[in-house]
Amino acid sequence: MEGNLVLLFFLLFFRSTFQQQEHSAPLSSRAERAALLQLRSSLGLRTKDWPIKSDPCLAWIGVLCQDGSVTGINISGFKRTRIGNQNPKFSVDSLANFTKLVSFNASRLTLPGSIPNWLGLQLQTLTVLDLRFCEISGAIPSNIGNLSNLGELYLSDNNLTGTIPSNLGLLSHLSVLDLSRNSLTGLIPSSLGSLAKLSLLDISSNNLSGAIPEDFGNLLNLKSLNLSSNSLSSSVPTHLGNLSSLVVLDLSSSSLSGSVPAEFGSLRHLQRMVICNNNFTGDLPDALWSLPNLSFLDVSSNNFMGLLPNLSLNANTTMAVFNLSHNMFYGVLTSVLKRVSTVDLSYNYFQDKIPDYARNVVSLDRNCFHSWSSQRNVKECAGFYSRKGLSFDNFGLPNGTIHRPLGDHKSNRRMVIFAAVLGTVGLVLLFVILVVLLIICSREERKTTEIGSGLGPSAAGTGAPGASLNLFGEAFGYEEILAATGDFNDGNLVKNGHSGDVFKGVLEGGIHIIVKRFDVHSRKNSCRVELDFFSKVSHPRLVPLLGHCLEKEKEQFLIYKYMPKGDLSSSLYWKIGSDLKLLDWITRLKIAIGVAEGLSYLHHECVPPLVHRDVQASSILLDDKYEVRLGSLTEACIQDTDSHSNKITRLLRLPQISEEVASGVATATCTYDVYSFGKVLLELVTGKIGISASSDSTTKEMLDGLLPFISIYDKELVKIIIDPSLIVDEDLLDEVWAMAVVAKSCLNPKPSRRPLMRFVLKALENPLKVVREETSSSARLGTSSSRNGSWRHNLAAGCGGKGDLKVGEDGCLSARRYSKDVFPEPMGLQDEERWNED
């Protein structure tokens, strides 16, 4: 035992010293030392990086040696000496003197000039050449095809012109070829098809129109040229279908035209294919849909025309993100869409109904679908179909009927008269509502400015009117803020909030901050309101206020801690290149609980209760660990306790329109926050951003489309609407389902039936209890005798139902009545039917 340990230590010791020695052999060749010095001076590198008195192998940054010879030179991003900067040149002649050089990385070091011709003939040992972002111009020398050991060639983001040399096809070991973002012209050489080991091919953002260069005829000594031969019908050579190792193919924005070779269907290992922004025509090869590992396909903005294939797909194919938008695809949606987790179909000519499996679609805009909003008009659709000699189904209506966009109704005379009468009544009603609103608004304004006088747990008793404003946080100087935000540079603008513009900035000490600029002359002094709020209320779930700057006459500023993850609306989805990434479930649940904690604090621990009034994804700020910090606090105010006005609004409220929609103004009740939070939960469940951002009719439409799929009695149903990336295992699915159920109960159209925030919080903390206890038979029968702690039981307690609350008599609690059935009813039965009829 002991002996073994000793042996182990010995081995470890030996290994590390051995490795050290291997790497720390000094440079042995005088010629290579001279060559390094020459390179150092021809490129103007600094003593700091390559100190002249030390041994290059031991002390020079980026010089890699083996057995006393230089094998790697990595001068990526190096700064030059002042003299070197005056006349930078692509002057690397001395590289020829390294006989064992394997990799040369000079990316982001400016090397104006063209790639020297000798490079291909001299650096025979090279396997990696990285010259990205080097401002290189001129053509790629065809000699580069002689670098027979080359495995990775990066020449992207330069100013390269001329054609892609067909000699590149000789590089039989090449696995990466990146020529993107240059000005290359001509054709893609078919010789590239012989690069059997190529796994990444990126020639995007060039000008490979396939146009024959003007001097082409002279070059070949031809008098005339017949271009109608097959090989030129596409500017993409069919030979690329031979790239059997290809994983990433990017040909976007390269002025390519013609059809996509059917041979691309044999790129079995392909995971990512981007050919957007070209002028491709014809159909997309069906075989692309069944490539097993293809997880990202972007063919948007081309002239593709064709039907979706009707394939039954191998169950093993990876879920994928596809973008087919801005083409001329037509016909009906087919079940191949089950292959995708997210797909954009907008700006095509698809027709007919939208099947259930098309729920993964992020956009259906500008097509020819039945009963769907934002579609093309009948003229465009019928025109397209008749030009193609196809029959258009006229949005499913009988021939001759004119289609109106969704929301309009068939017009007949009776309808018009009815509408006129309704309109008059409506106008009168609107007037009355306006008057009431005006009264309420003025009251609310008074109230919000009163916020400083006596709220928050600490201030419960000290509500002396006229008490001087307690300025919370540090006072910043205007100059300091100017410096931090670069004079409110547009580049630092985060967003134009409704109460003021929001900038990011850095203080002198390197501390990142967020600065909100308020206009003092706005309708209400939001800055003051918010400052008052922060002086009375503090909670780890609220965005940390660092200080303020009130020294200017016209503008005031609040300074907050910087939130590295931004807000929920920007971090639910984010893009890596053109890949969409989504937050994982654990993080989403954590965020939901965080928000519930914050709102619970405002609703239940502040006396009198506070209402946030602006709960939406963009108000939910996230720190580096995705901990929630609620922001957008300028709308926060004391819960509306005047039951008198509530009665008036309730009387005037049109049936079926919830309070939020009726007034258009965020009402100051806790139930309003609960409703808004329900929309946020729905966003987390479905992964669709934008639900919580507004309360207009599109949101209503969206909710009507989603809620019928949420039922406590049917788990399978919810799978249709949830973000497909969340369907991982059963436990997790149950949690997602539970959150959906909670969301639905928060979205109850009747404010009095929405659960209290503290119970919502409890439910989110124990999501499995929500669905698992409730699916027991007793609950199913509605004779629930749920035990203590059950979500349903707590919900049923309603607002103020229990005597254990700190605030019993006041605010939202007493204003609401006991409700036995807050639980989502198997409601939406009608909605579901309506849905199915569509």
Ligand X SMILES: *[C@@H]1O[C@H](CO)[C@@H](O)[C@H](O)[C@H]1NC(C)=O
Residues in contact with ligand X by the rule CB under 6 A: 31, 34-35, 61-62, 74, 76-77, 96-97, 105, 107, 121, 128, 130, 135, 145-146, 152, 159, 170, 183, 185, 193-194, 207, 209, 211, 226, 228-229, 238-239, 241-242, 255, 257, 263, 268-269, 279, 281, 292-293, 303, 314-316, 391, 399
Choice between 292 and 808, CB closer to ligand X? 292
3-state secondary structure of 193: helix
Choice between 130 and 659, CB closer to ligand X? 130
CA distance 101 to 35: 12
Residue 224: CB minimum distance to ligand X, A: 8
**End-to-end distance of the chain based on CA atoms, in angstroms?**
75
3-state secondary structure of 687: coil
**Who contacts 255 (Cβ-Cβ below 8 Å, separation ≥6)?**
206, 207, 208, 209, 210, 278, 279
Residue 254: CB minimum distance to ligand X, A: 10
Residue 388: CB minimum distance to ligand X, A: 13
Other C-beta atoms closer than 10 Å to the C-beta of 2 total 6
Choice between 101 and 799, CB closer to ligand X? 101
**Who contacts 541 (Cβ-Cβ below 8 Å, separation ≥6)?**
594, 595, 597, 598, 601, 628, 629, 630
Find out whether 96 and 123 touch, Cβ atoms under 8 Å. yes
E-strand ranges in 69-144 read 69-74, 103-105, 128-130, 137-139
Choice between 281 and 535, CB closer to ligand X? 281
Choice between 73 and 592, CB closer to ligand X? 73
Residue 142: CB minimum distance to ligand X, A: 9
Residue 306: CB minimum distance to ligand X, A: 15
Find out whether 624 and 565 touch, Cβ atoms under 8 Å. yes
Instruction: Count CA atoms closer than 13 A to 424's CA, side-chain side.
Output: 5
Amino acid at 374: S
Choice between 140 and 531, CB closer to ligand X? 140
Choice between 78 and 626, CB closer to ligand X? 78
Distances (CA, A) of 206 to 184, 216, 247: 5, 19, 21
Choice between 152 and 450, CB closer to ligand X? 152
Find out whether 341 and 361 touch, Cβ atoms under 8 Å. no
Candidates 149, 156, 150; CA nearest to 131 is 156
Residue 279: CB minimum distance to ligand X, A: 4
Distances (CA, A) of 600 to 605, 610, 702: 7, 10, 27
Query: Got the DSSP string for 388-405?
Result: TT----GGGSPTTPPP--
Find out whether 526 and 558 touch, Cβ atoms under 8 Å. no
What angle separates helix 670-686 from helix 585-600, to the nearest 10 degrees?
180
Residue 57: CB minimum distance to ligand X, A: 15
Residue 738: CB minimum distance to ligand X, A: 32
Choice between 176 and 771, CB closer to ligand X? 176
The two structure tokens encoding residue 240:
């690329």
The two structure tokens encoding residue 109:
């070091």
Candidates 69, 62, 73, 67; CA nearest to 21 is 67
- Tell me 554's DSSP state: S
3-state secondary structure of 180: coil
Choice between 257 and 325, CB closer to ligand X? 257
The two structure tokens encoding residue 371:
């009963």
Calculate the dihedral angle through the C-alpha atoms of 215, 219, 221, 222, rounding to the nearest 10 degrees.
Answer: -50
Candidates 541, 680, 510, 653; CA nearest to 604 is 541
Candidates 705, 453, 727; CA nearest to 585 is 727
3-state secondary structure of 331: strand
Residue 89: CB minimum distance to ligand X, A: 14
Find out whether 609 and 603 touch, Cβ atoms under 8 Å. yes
Find out whether 617 and 689 touch, Cβ atoms under 8 Å. yes
> What's the farthest any 2 CA atoms get from each other in the chain?
101
555: phi then psi, degrees, rounded to nearest 5: -130, 145
Residue 405: CB minimum distance to ligand X, A: 21
Residue 355: CB minimum distance to ligand X, A: 21
CA distance 35 to 738: 68
Q: Return the active site residues.
A: 614
**Who contacts 584 (Cβ-Cβ below 8 Å, separation ≥6)?**
none
Choice between 34 and 665, CB closer to ligand X? 34
Other C-beta atoms closer than 10 Å to the C-beta of 539 total 16
Residue 314: CB minimum distance to ligand X, A: 5
Find out whether 559 and 514 touch, Cβ atoms under 8 Å. yes
The two structure tokens encoding residue 121:
């003939």
Choice between 130 and 344, CB closer to ligand X? 130
Residue 229: CB minimum distance to ligand X, A: 5
CA distance 321 to 271: 11
Radius of gyration of the chain (CA): 33
Choice between 268 and 750, CB closer to ligand X? 268
Q: Are strands 128-130 and 103-105 parallel, antiparallel or unpaired?
A: parallel
